[in-house]
Amino acid sequence: MAFARLADAYTVRARLLPALIAALPLGIATLAWFPTGILGWGAVSALIVWSGGTVLLAEVGRDAGRRKEPGLFASWCGKPTTRLLRHHGSANRPLLARRHARLAALTGIAAPTAGAEAADRHAADEVYEAWSAVLRDLTRDHSAFDLIFAENCSYGFRRNLWGMRSVGTVLAVAGLAAVAVIPWLDPSARTALRVGAVIVTGAINAILVLGWLFVIRPAWVRTPAEAYAERLLEASERL
């Protein structure tokens, strides 16, 4: 039975896939070294699934992202939903006032005034975070709030990849090196077919190295985080 049938879509996309992508270079290097050994991999992969290996990978991916999340929020001057609810820096005050009124009515927690927020930013942020927590609880129905769920999956995927950036980069470099030395260490790999395979697998690992170094960065994580925050706050109009 496929792991996707054993877990929800969020776990597969946001937790498992980042861990699998981090480990991918080693799998590619193994394939380059032992191209005829893949016939028995089906039984091995099935054993890994049933022994809980994929569940472990999913938890590793989740924990890596969670550990780095506070640092991301601090660098962004707060959680995206919290920042969108602050009076300070608001780009649309009528919309902000409407959201404050709606969320105060939904939660029973009074909205901070601009003056109260300026006097005690921490206390105001606690209100905004409480509002956000209530909204998350009220929008857990994936079918009814599919856009929120999609953005949450996207954010979780990117956050957890960012959390595994150091490990992923090391594994990608190691995988690239392991492929690069094949023609020198294995004379049988100097045939045209094997050299072609080495070039292809080496190129894939090189692309992964570049991706870890230049694509998977805080700004890349921030895009879906802010989109998720927007969709979550928009849902207050439907509740």
Q: Which residue would you say has higher pLDDT here, 188 or 126?
A: 126
Cα diameter, the chain: 75
59 — pLDDT class (breaks 50, 70, 90): confident
Looking up tokens 């129905």, which residue turns up? 141
pLDDT at 213 over 60: yes
Looking up tokens 């969670």, which residue turns up? 66
pLDDT at 145 over 60: yes
What crossing angle do the helices spanning 41-50 and 53-75 adopt, rounded to 10°? 70
What's the CA gap between 132 and 206, in Å, rounded? 41
Radius of gyration of the chain (CA): 23
Q: Which residue would you say has higher pLDDT here, 193 or 203?
A: 203
pLDDT of residue 6: 43
pLDDT at 203 over 50: yes
What's the CA gap between 115 and 105, in Å, rounded? 20
36 — pLDDT class (breaks 50, 70, 90): low
231 — pLDDT class (breaks 50, 70, 90): very high
pLDDT of residue 20: 85
Q: Which residue would you say has higher pLDDT here, 192 or 125?
A: 125
53 — pLDDT class (breaks 50, 70, 90): low
User: Mean pLDDT over residues 74-93, rounded?
Assistant: 96
Percent of the chain with pLDDT over 70: 87
User: Mean pLDDT over residues 130-151, rounded?
Assistant: 96
To the question of pTM greater than 0.85 for the whole model, the response is yes
Considering the chain, what is the average pLDDT of its residues? 87
pLDDT of residue 121: 97
pLDDT of residue 31: 80
Q: Is 36 exposed, middle or buried (0-12, 13-18, 19+ CB in 10 A)?
A: exposed
What's the CA gap between 138 and 131, in Å, rounded? 11
